[in-house]
Amino acid sequence: MTRKRMLYIGSYFLFAIGNAYAQETLSSIRPVNFSKVEITDQFWTPKIKTVSEVTIPVCIEQTEVKTPRIRNFEKVAQHSGEKHEGIYYDDSDVYKALEAIAYSLKNHPDQQLEQKADEWIDKIAAAQLPDGYLNTYYTLNGLDKRWTDMDMHEDYCAGHLIEAAVAYYNTTGKTKLLEVATRFADHIDSTFRQQNRPWVSGHQEIELALVKLYHMTKKERYLALADWFLQQRGRGYGKGHTWDDLKDPARCQDAVPLKDQKEITGHAVRAMYLYTGAADVGAATGNTEYMQAMQTVWQDVVYRNMYITGGIGSTAKNEGFSQDYDLPNASAYCETCASVGMVFWNQRMNLLTGEAKYFDILERSLYNGALDGLSYSGNRFFYGNPLASHGGYGRSEWFGTACCPSNIARLVESLGDYIYAHSDKAVWVNLFVGSKAAIPLSQGTVEIAQQTGYPWQGDVNIRVTPDRKRKFPLHIRIPGWLLGQPAPGDTYRFLDTTENKYTLQVNGKNVPYQIEKGYVVIDRIWDKNDAVSIQMPLEVKKIAANDQVVANKNRIALQRGPLVYCVEQVDNQDNAMNFIVPPDAHFTASFQKDLLGGVVTLQSKLPAATPSSDGKSIQVTKQTITAIPYFCWANRGNGEMQVWLPTKIKNVLINSKGL
């Protein structure tokens, strides 16, 4: 890709003056684990319930009945000489489903579901070889080929096994899957790092998983192995389809060493998993070179290569990135897994820096680009998430490559991982989600209980109860959209740049506070049941894009709170493409309790073109146009949809329906 290198000079300077600070803060902020958080939220609780009751059973049925994924593990244990069925990376879908089950068992304990998970775990354990190796594709098709092709996802599958094992242990305390995962990790470490045998992961994932295993077991070898994997990149070691056939090491971010990477390249999901792992290793080891690379690449993603929905990856050709500002709408790829990866990566960047802007992006991806991948019913999915459709795109029951359903399931079920964070001496509130958590500080425990109508309403009430009176700072994120900035950088801007005024009180009274890194910081002596209240006005905002985003010239997008909106055919007299939005258009918001489980819709009377009664001319009249949250679209059948709404007429397409 051709890039404007001058754009990066500023970030280099910032790191020159910021490295000492980064060294002091690396790893000092930690997330509150999902297993310690109880979610009671009016927006998220029904979605979590749907995933538990509908999505996970769908994943189970697809995994062990409709596809041969579980059957492959059974074949290995039976030693019957049968061949592998399906795709070489299908083991990973079993592990992601198990991870989602682990989170679900915390949110909705279910003895039958736990028994099903234990049944799967027994079959997985029975398929592990004595040396720790575990991969049904190579075990069934020929072990002589294992670890010969870096593009065949062996380590990717291992990473998802590790993540599932850690999650299942956190919920149930059971160690069987964790023992399987550690044996496989030990096998990989003995095979590669300890022999210094080069290996580049063609689909990153194992790096972040190994750091999770390190934190769980406290064994340094897993952190060392994760760091070793990162250091393999950009050294010409790659062998396999990506390197030998495509001649494109940038596809898996292997063109230059990690510490020298400045641009986002290649496959979007692989990039997100890599950079999440790099941030994790950087935090655990204090490696500021990784932090510098992450900051620079993050700016390249967010400033020039991110959709307004928080989705990333503009092209299906490489399932990822093309040129700066190349953000087409109808052909946008925006894989659901990539938005899930944006949640992972931005959380880690926040933990590294303490800066709220990363959670601003996480929130945008979570509520829009990722959540869009799951239907309201819980049993239909999007793989890609375009920002416009002429009616031919819809949700699917399943996919041949089925990474997205289990990925969005595990994200929704693990939402508790992203709400709160803490250091030894402070607490952070990052997402506005009704919930309860007991948060450990060095001198005792603080209970946090949050109530809110978010994202439909801007009221947030936080009850703070320390085990005894104590002084500590409470950090509460003030969203960037509230302060007049849809996203960092200049790709997007609100047409009305007025900052919305929020109010904050403690026990009904105004209190002094500081603003630090995008957070309100209230540092005081807290007592039992102290009540913090925040009122954030949710106004409908019009967004314009940088002129370099050619697809969005003479168009605007709508946002209210964290939610991006779209216009869908079903709400608009069977046509979502026949109107314009004049500069003076005003949108009103109203809650529709019977629509898609209850959503806030936007309405405005806009000039709309319709055919005359005789079909021989066009007339322009005012029509009430309704917009719905983007994540809701395509739940009532396929139809036209657009996020970026035209402000001018550029051309007219005359079409007779059905032709």
Q: DSSP per residue over 258-295, as a string?
A: GGG--S--SBHHHHHHHHHHHHHHHHHHT-HHHHHHHH
List of E strands, 399-553: 420-422, 427-429, 435-441, 444-452, 459-466, 470-477, 492-494, 503-506, 514-516, 519-526, 530-535, 540-545
Among the listed residues 604, 4, 631, 638, the one whose alpha carbon sits nearest the alpha carbon of residue 339: 631
Q: DSSP per residue over 64-119, as a string?
A: IIISSHHHHHHHHHHT--PPP-S-TTTHHHHHHHHHHHHHHHHHS--HHHHHHHHH
Burial class (CB in 10 A: 0-12, 13-18, 19+), 13: exposed
Give the helix/strand (H/E) hosting 565: strand 563-568
566 is catalytic: no
Which of 403, 404, 566, 632 is an active site residue? 403
**Do residues 329 and 388 lie in contact, with contact meaning Cβ atoms separated by under 8 Å?**
yes
End-to-end Cα, the chain, rounded Å:
39
Residue type at 440 in one-letter notation = P
Query: What are the structure tokens assigned to 580, written together?
Result: 């314009």
DSSP code of 32?
P
Among the listed residues 87, 66, 177, the one whose alpha carbon sits nearest the alpha carbon of residue 128: 177
Among the listed residues 402, 501, 475, the one whose alpha carbon sits nearest the alpha carbon of residue 95: 402
74 is catalytic: no
> In the chain, what are the helix, strand and coil shares in percent, each to the nearest 5?
40, 20, 40
List of E strands, 423-501: 427-429, 435-441, 444-452, 459-466, 470-477, 492-494
**297-300 contacts at long range (C-beta below 8 A, 24 or more positions apart):** 297/261, 297/262, 297/263, 297/264, 298/345, 298/349, 298/358, 299/7, 299/8, 299/11, 299/488, 299/489, 300/3, 300/262, 300/263, 300/264, 300/324
Among the listed residues 50, 35, 160, the one whose alpha carbon sits nearest the alpha carbon of residue 419: 35
Which of 207, 319, 413, 640 is an active site residue? 319
How far is the C-alpha of 364 from the C-alpha of 370, rounded, in Å? Answer: 9
How far is the C-alpha of 262 from the C-alpha of 31, rounded, in Å? Answer: 27
Annotated catalytic sites, by residue? 319, 403
